[in-house]
Structure 1
Amino acid sequence: MDREEMEERVLKAAGRMFSQLGYDATTLEMIAGAVGRGSECSELLQRGKQGLYREVFAYIYKLSEDRMRTALEKASDDAGGLHYTVDEYIDLILEHPEIPALWKQRGLLDAVDIDFPEEHLQPPLQAALTSRRWEGTRPDLDLKFLSWLVMWSMGGFIDNGLPDDSGQCHLADHPPTLQYFRARLHEMIDRMA
């Protein structure tokens, strides 16, 4: 395994640990144990927990930003493009559920003393949705608020799932529930737009 692959493994393992346990409860030893205790891993962990935490956020920010940039390049400038961009965000979070979980930990005042660069504070979905006027949508559509509704909805769905008609809760890995969630979210967007 080359250094770049090891670095990605460390960032993914640290992201999982920080998102599940929080910064304060996660130790470098836990991360090393999840990755494997090779000399390459030890070298990467010598950056310190705070440095690694910042790198995890930079990593997930870049993942999100790249995904949203690609979505915008492919999306049309109309309401269909807005829906396409939201679908890309949904798929990103399904692939990386640690993204909303890390921000949720921050919301619980975990590692609140660690600052981030200003440019990492605007969520990439918000930047994407507010980057253009989507033809066929209301001129007064609050795209910033819409982006936050999507992010909050997706974070809650990833954490809690949705109950079916019988009351049984299903998570995002249940195809009919995911299809239902996606359809209702797009329906909400249509009503707002």
Structure 2
Amino acid sequence: MTVANAERQVARQPRGDATRQSILEAAERVFADLGYAAARLEDVAQAVGIRRPSIVYYFPGKQQLYDQVEADIFASMHDFVLKRVEDASDPMARLLALLDAWLDFLVERPAAARIIQRLIADSAPRGDNPVRFSETALRDIEAVITMGVEVGAFRPVSAMHILNGVAGGALFYVCNGGQLGEERSYDPANPVELSAFRALLHKLAEAAVLHPGEKG
């Protein structure tokens, strides 16, 4: 490769990275709105303002694009959690920090919340390994609950019960804002709404894991 070609390659790289990121962001919205089965690469291309072959340059097909979208969602959520819980050594504080992290992540990224909700209802896109990318989220909550139980701060409780009975509420809170009829609609990102729901989430978590008679 000549020096001139190398310089052109370096110049193209940031532009290529930006295009790839734009494709991923548009694909997240399209998959959230249409679901995996109905979404087409053409839909994503139109959302980005490029042609379908430009997507195939980065992602060979719809499955590969979807895989990368899902991988990015859960990797980003895991990183978000790690930053929130790093200073919380007490099990209860760590659990609340994790729940807050999930809630805030989903509020900031509602398309990701809708994709996760679709995954719960339809595992077809994941085939034989439904937790291929969500394993990190499951391990995050399992680690917190296991630590709390082992040190006696929490009563013996299933991490998956906490996931379904408490943490799952954040997903419904974000996804249901416009799905309950005009009279019940709300903005999940509204500070007043968000603060009230966060307080409820904390109370539910404390009631679910603390020993009878204890208060958080």
How does the TM-score come out when normalised to structure 2? 0.74
Task: State the alpha-carbon separation in 1 of the partners of residues 195 and 168 from structure 2.
Answer: 18
2:205 maps to 189
1:148 deviates by 2.7
Task: State the alpha-carbon separation in 2 of the partners of residues 138 and 14 from structure 1.
Answer: 40
Comparing 128-137 and 95-104, the one that deviates more: 128-137
Letter in 2 for 1:127: R
Instruction: State which of 169, 177, 190 in structure 2 corresponds to 1:161.
Output: 177
1:109 deviates by 2.8
1:105 deviates by 2.0
Report the CA distance shift for 1:98/1:140 in structure 2 as closer, same or farther (over 3 A). same
Instruction: State which of 46, 49, 53 in structure 2 corresponds to 1:36.
Output: 49
Task: Note if contact 1:22-1:110 (Cα within 8 Å) is conserved in structure 2.
Answer: no
2:163 maps to 147
Report the CA distance shift for 1:44/1:143 in structure 2 as closer, same or farther (over 3 A). same
Comparing 76-85 and 142-151, the one that deviates more: 142-151
* Equivalent residues in 2 for 1:38-57, closer than 5 Å: 41=55, 43-45=57-59, 47-57=60-70
1:61 maps to 74
| Count of residue correspondences | 187
Instruction: State which of 6, 9, 18 in structure 2 corresponds to 1:5.
Output: 18
1:144 deviates by 2.8
Report the CA distance shift for 1:160/1:117 in structure 2 as closer, same or farther (over 3 A). closer
Residue 88 of structure 1 pairs with residue 104 of structure 2: no
CA-atom RMSD in angstroms = 2.6
Letter in 1 for 2:57: E
1:127 maps to 139
Percent identity among equivalent residues? 25
Report the CA distance shift for 1:114/1:138 in structure 2 as closer, same or farther (over 3 A). closer
How does the TM-score come out when normalised to structure 1? 0.82
1:5 deviates by 2.1
User: Deviation per CA, 1:12-62, whole angstroms, max 9, x where unpaired?
Assistant: 1111111111111111111011112167545225x1111111111111121
1:23 maps to 36
Report the CA distance shift for 1:27/1:148 in structure 2 as closer, same or farther (over 3 A). same
User: Deviation per CA, 1:66-103, whole angstroms, max 9, x where unpaired?
Assistant: 22233332322331222122111111111112223113
Deviation above 6 Å: which 4+ runs of structure 1? Answer: none
Q: Secondary structure at the match of 1:131?
A: helix
1:141 deviates by 3.1
